[in-house]
Each structure stands twice: as structure tokens, then as C-alpha cells.
Amino acid sequence: NPTEPLVIDGKTYPRDHFTNATPTILDKLPRRLHLQPSHPIGILRSLIESHFNDFEHLNSLSPIVTVQQNFDDLGFPADHPGRALTDSYYLNQRHMLRTHTSAHEVECFSAGKDRFLVTADVYRRDEIDRSHYPVFHQMEGCNVVDPAQGGIERLERENAQMRAALGQANIVIEDPTGDETATNPYQAEHDPRTARIIAEHLKNSLNGLVLKLFGGGRAGGDGAEPLRVRWIEATFPWTAPSYEVEVMFNGKWLEILGCGVVRQAALERSGVGHKQGWAFGLGLERIAMVLFSIPDIRLFWSSDARFASQFRQGEISTFRPYSRFPECYKDLAFWLPAQGEGEGVKAWHENDFMELVRDEAGDLVEGVQLIDEFTHPKTGRVSRCYRFNYRSMDRSLSNEEVNVIQERVQERVTSEMQVEVR
């Protein structure tokens, strides 16, 4: 009932002008794919946990966080695009579905945790295609030490061990980010020597992880060719310096994670300004799709036994598609609402449209693509044509059932999004 407050896990969230989380999305909260031991997402989680075996592993933190946790505590500016209603799911103006696992960094640091991994479902509004889904999974890894307690010496000892192991491994690491650069500097509060040790520890830890996940021929080679990894400068509001890591997989660079040295401001906000360390966040679906050869992100959510029965705890295996069911195209063309036309006309945003389509079509829609756009020369109105690609992961769809869905989509965009179907 759209007028009653949202009740989730026995907690009540009053609706307001921010509320945009739909029932379709809220239905995903209890699924917890990362906890299924023989699901690809669960298998990958365990593999990564085993690389960080002396870290605390946190797998059950609630997906509902405050805007403060998800953005403010991490230093996101007030006008950051990720905060927009078109990009994130809000229960109301105070509570939201986390958009990344970094939302838990400050609470974990505050609780005194120094080495931990957080695995969780995260939520973002996005386009519809084979690699995007509004729910996906991330792992956050954090490692902070107290320099007054010998923490830096510990990182140096571990660096020596990791460096030796990587030196023996069949891996080529391209790292133009090296020491600090003008565009990616160490923090002013940090002694450069200490910052360098932390950054090196971060890089060694993640190079080792990448080797574990992709080494030995899993990157599409035969294992005789070295695994190629490259480090790229990046920016995140709560880390400096910051990096992204890419792995050469089947001849293409695949971006797999973001990371950096945690800003002292974030640690101070957590009441542990005397500590220093690093953090990373990686997306599990993207890695699982290439490691297990899973061609469509919707498959992770399939309850079909032909999917589930193919995977075994602790094993990375190649998915064998059980069948490729026929696809069915439908086009829909409409005029967008004229800019500023009438009071209360909401600005058109494509993500709202994608959401509506997901809501009606669920997992039967594989992609929605803008195929044509033009502006009427006299009226200035904009027309768009979208192509819908329907395909079930588990069965053949009939043209009749697709028509029913497509008609409902058409009715709802007309009544809810003030467009005029052509």
C-alpha cells in the first residue's frame, strides 16, 4: 500500500518525497546469494576470504543504512551524482539501500575492527543490459594499524613476505602509479615513508589476490603466459592516494576493484584517528561472470536447478548454458514530456523508465536500448524509440505473454511518466 510506511525486518520507515525503493527491489533483500556456499557468488566470496584468512569476515550487515553512512561519513560532497534519486534507492530521506560496502567502513572502524572483510548485497539504479542488475554484491576489505603499537613494522614484515611470493609468481604488474604523484598524492598528515609502506601493503595484498583468482591460466591463457595486472590512478572521497586495478582477461582489460589509503578524516570520524591503513572494494558479479563464464547477470538470480546444480563449493567451474531460448524484440516510441510543461511534471530520467520496465517485466527483460532519438523541428519536442529485448533464462516465452507485459509497460509510462506514445 503506497500510503503506509515501509516495514522491513520489523522496523518502520515512514515514506516521504525521497521514497523510491520498489517492492520488486525490496523482495531481493532476503535472497543473500553471497551466503549460498555453492552459488558462484558464495564460492567467490569464500575464495577471497581464504586469501584474507586472518581478517574478520562480516557477511550479515543490514542493507539498510543511513545517508550519513553511505555518503556523508565518507566525505561525498553534497552534490555528488550518486546521491541522486535517479541513481540510488531511498526508503526515505534518512535511510537508503547501501550503494556500496564502503558504507560500513566507519561503523567497523568505530567498533575497533582493524582487519575485516564485508561481503554484502548493494543496490543501484541503472540501465538494463546483460551486465547490469539493480542488486549486486561487493566485498570491502580494510586493514588499519596503530603505528604506536608497531603496526607499521608489521606491515613491513608482511610486505617482505608478499614481495618474495610475488617475485616467484607468473605475474606481470604494470604500475605507473608507483610512489605518490602530483595528481595522486600521499595525505599531508602522513609521513611519506609510512604512506609508502601502507600503499605497498595494499598493492601486494591485492596483487596476491588477483593471482589467486586469475592465475594459472584462469585468465583465458594457458598458464604459461604470465598474468597481466595494471594499476591506475583513481579518486574516491575517502582515500588518498587512490587506485583501480585491471586484469587482462581473454585479451581485454577488466576493471575489478577500487582502493586506496584511507583518509585520516574518515578514521578521525570513526574515533580512531591514531590509526592508519588501506581499504578496497570489489564487485563480485563482474569477476564471477568471467571466471565462471556466466553470460547474463540475471542467471545469478535464477532458481532453475539447471543453473544451481552446476556449481560446487570451493570450485571455479565453467558454466555450460543449458539452452539459449529465443529472444523477442518490441519497440516503443514516445514523446518525452516537454521541459517545464505544467506544474508537477517531473523531469524525465531514463533510470525511472528502466525501473518501471524492471517492475513490470522482472527478469524476463534482457536489455532495453535507445535506438532512435530526434527533436521535432517546429515544436522542439523530443521523441525516443527504445528497443526491448525479452528473453527468459529458463524457458521459451510466447509472443502473447510478451505482448501483455509490453502493453502494461506502455500503459504505465503513459500514466506515470507523462510521455505520449507515438
Q: Residue 104 and residue 67: Cα distance in Å, rounded?
A: 12
Query: With binding defined as CB under 6 A, does residue 258 bind ligand PHE?
Result: yes
Query: With binding defined as CB under 6 A, does residue 197 bind ligand PHE?
Result: no
Comparison of 197 and 206: residue with beta carbon closer to ligand PHE: 206
Site string for ligand PHE, 209-248 (x = CB under 6 A): ---------------------------x--x---------
Is the Cβ–Cβ distance between 216 and 160 less than 8 Å? no
Cell of 231: 594499476
In angstroms, what is the minimal distance from the CB of 235 to ligand PHE? 9
**From 116, 280, 311, 388, residue interacting with ligand PHE (rule: CB under 6 A):** 280
Classify 141 as helix, strand or coil: strand
In angstroms, what is the minimal distance from the CB of 281 to ligand PHE? 3
DSSP notation for 243-285: EEEEEEETTEEEEEEEEEEEPHHHHHHTT-TT-EEEEEEEEHH
**Which range touches ligand PHE (CB under 6 A), out of 21-29, 252-260, 292-300, 312-320?**
252-260
The residue sitting closest to ligand PHE, measured at its beta carbon, is 281
Query: With binding defined as CB under 6 A, does residue 267 bind ligand PHE?
Result: no
In angstroms, what is the minimal distance from the CB of 239 to ligand PHE? 5
Q: Which of 213, 188, 181 is nearest to 51 (CA)?
A: 213
Comparison of 40 and 258: residue with beta carbon closer to ligand PHE: 258
Cell of 365: 527483460
Q: Residue 77 and residue 64: Cα distance in Å, rounded?
A: 21
- Please name the amino acid found at residue 325: F
Q: Residue 153 and residue 197: Cα distance in Å, rounded?
A: 9
Classify 58 as helix, strand or coil: strand
Site string for ligand PHE, 81-120 (x = CB under 6 A): -------------------x-x------------------
- Please name the amino acid found at residue 132: H
Query: With binding defined as CB under 6 A, does residue 386 bind ligand PHE?
Result: no
Query: Would you tell me which residues interact with ligand PHE (CB under 6 A)?
Result: 100, 102, 236, 239, 258-260, 279-281
